[in-house]
Structure 1
Amino acid sequence: MSNLHSQGRSDLAHARHVEAALLDFLRAQSARHEALVIAAIGELRIRIDAADALLAYADDSQSAAIAFRLAAAEAARLAGHVYFELAGRSLPRPLPDSPEPALLTQRRLLGDHYLNGAALADGQGDGLAR
């Protein structure tokens, strides 16, 4: 399993964990009926589902692996943000098991690939494991 897959799976698991904790918290709150709270939960679920769908294609190409990694990181980020916003506290997010390229670098590589047709690196020396 590539480093991107490993970190992505960790972030996706974290997003799911935070979502479950948030749902448990909100079930006891009257705010669960407010439109903005419902929308925030819906947006979080969309991000988790999107990352999950991209995981199915992560082995197909380097661009699919990067897209999955970015989607999983965004789901985890949003989960933490929504939890803090609605519950007033945060849940710890696990640190990556090993170093990986910065998400900004991965986003730039993917954008350059789609916008300019730039080849994605072959994984040698760039930290983008397959």
Structure 2
Amino acid sequence: MKAISSIFSTLIVVMITLSLIVPLYLFFAQSYTNSSIQANSAYNNYLTDINVKISVIYLGNSANTTFVYNYGSVPIIIDKVIVNNVSYNVKYEILTGSLVPLSSIINSNIPVKENSTIILQINGNYYYFNLGSD
């Protein structure tokens, strides 16, 4: 009788273990997939951020004579421009190798003071530029 009892208990443990294999596999497979997708997304964002190379060229006291130059290997999208403590929400794409006046981006020819700071939000990141002579 004791031998039959140990056989049944072993079978019950084996059945419980086998019944948990499928849910555990599905859980860990989904978890691994989500982790790898997040890692790939973060890596792609990192590569994009590395390839963004932007410069602000200040030639005068207005937005017509202040230029934004994209010398990186990827196009950029400017979402926000902050000049003279005024924020402009824009959606402006600058292709690789393009030189664009600031007035075209913000649709305004405002005065731009020397030694001021221009802040550009590009692809979700903020870039700070100090104008004037160094």
TM-score, L = length of structure 1: 0.28
Higher relative contact order (CA 8 A, sep 6+): 1
State which structure, 1 or 2, has the greater radius of gyration over its C-alpha atoms: 2
